[in-house]
Structure 1
Amino acid sequence: MSSVPDIQALPQVMGDDGEFHVTDEAVDLSGTTPEAWAALAFFWALGLTVFYQFFTRYVLNDSAAWTEEIARYLLIATVFVGAAIGVAKNNHIQVDFLFRFLPHKVARAMALLVDVLRIAFLGAAVVLTWQMMEKMGNYKMTIVDLPMNIVYAVCMVGFAAMCVRSIWVMRVHLERGYSVLEKPESTMEDR
């Protein structure tokens, strides 16, 4: 038996003309969720802010003081809104080791409990963030003369999006009869 692979069996990357030919797949953004677009917008705003900070500090040698604070808040917005993407894909960190050894009915009940507790936690986070915003009142940001509640409002919207997506994830789990905890090889697209 020869260890040399058959050249004809390998994928061909060169055309008959001796040139390398590549075609890209069509880009389909139709499945992109609204929270993903919002997170992308916050991320780009963050990138532009950090670039402006770098430019003013190292090129103009006159740092714009507001960029540090705004960059911090844009990072917070990116994380909280972007976390809803992870909830929708149901790919946040989880420990599924125990589920492999439990009887099916017990594992199913625990997976349902996890879904319910996630929804309850995120719903409580929405309420607590709202209460925090009420207590903050007219508190302003440190350098920029804007209300601090803008930052908390974005966090609350992120929590609300995560809560709505958690409800959707639980509905999918109920429809198909198992969750990713019970079958770690599954994804949200499996139906």
Structure 2
Amino acid sequence: MPIQSSPARDAAPAPPPPADDDISDIRLVDTPVIVVFWVLALVVFLQFFTRYVLNNSLGWTEEIARYLLIGVTFIGAVAAVRRESHIAVELLYTRLPRTARLALQLFVDVVSLAFYAALSWLCVHLAQRTFQKMTSIDVPKSLVYWIVAACFAAMALYQLMVLVRHLSRRTSRLIDPDAATSTGPNL
């Protein structure tokens, strides 16, 4: 009896994953956000398990999950500034001539840089004035503010690099959208 091939074996190979699934731009500096994210997932699972399975919730999991979510947000924002992937309203850019788009991009870069630097400075002052401890564990709340301040300082540093690159190359994904990828080049 002849062996018949199955349709699954004769099928064409699967197409490559879409560009959105490409993770080749992950760098070593993205490690903290990945670690904090998985610690957050573990703490939330632990909270769910102890509350609904064991009927005896651990008190510290809710507060720690809240602070870890703050960490994921701000550490992730550092990666977004590095990758130039923060949200942007492109409607105005599409209606302006190229020189005006460049001027607007540089203006946005300078305002972003000033914003990140100012918030870093404010977070440092807030951290220096916070002496309270977390409710469920004996850790100062100022630690959270120090981490946020460090994230804003890192965002300011990356935004400065982005500004220098936009000044030197005179282009970005908003200035020349046809020549750029969906996110900016990595730093």
Q: TM-score, structure 1 length as denominator? A: 0.79
Distance in 1 separating the partners of 2:63 and 2:166: 41
Match of 2:136 in 1: 143
Match of 2:44 in 1: 50
Q: Is the 8 A contact 1:96 1:182 kept in 2?
A: no
1:70 to 64, 72, 75: 64
Match of 2:185 in 1: 189
Moved over 3 A (4+): 18-25, 28-31
Match of 1:97 in 2: 91
Secondary structure of the corresponding residue to residue 91 of structure 1 = coil
Q: 1:45 to 1:88 in 2, by over 3 A?
A: same
Identity of aligned residues (%): 39
By how many angstroms is 1:20 displaced? 7.8
Q: Is the 8 A contact 2:36 2:71 kept in 1?
A: yes
Deviations 1:88-145 (A, max 9, x none): 1212111222223333333222211111111110000100000101111x21112211
Q: TM-score, structure 2 length as denominator? A: 0.81
By how many angstroms is 1:67 displaced? 0.2
Distance in 2 separating the partners of 1:35 and 1:160: 14
Distance in 2 separating the partners of 1:54 and 1:20: 43
**5+ unaligned residues in a row in structure 1: which ranges?**
1-12
Distance in 2 separating the partners of 1:70 and 1:51: 12
Amino acid at match of 2:47: Q
Distance in 2 separating the partners of 1:63 and 1:106: 57
**5+ unaligned residues in a row in structure 2: which ranges?**
1-6
Q: 1:30 to 1:184 in 2, by over 3 A?
A: closer
Secondary structure of the corresponding residue to residue 92 of structure 1 = coil
Q: Is the 8 A contact 1:46 1:71 kept in 2?
A: yes
Mapping 1:76-155, distance limit 5 Å: 76-136=70-130, 138-155=131-148
Deviations 1:6-37 (A, max 9, x none): xxxxxxx955xx58866989xx9774234421
Amino acid at match of 1:174: L
Match of 1:3 in 2: none
Amino acid at match of 1:189: P
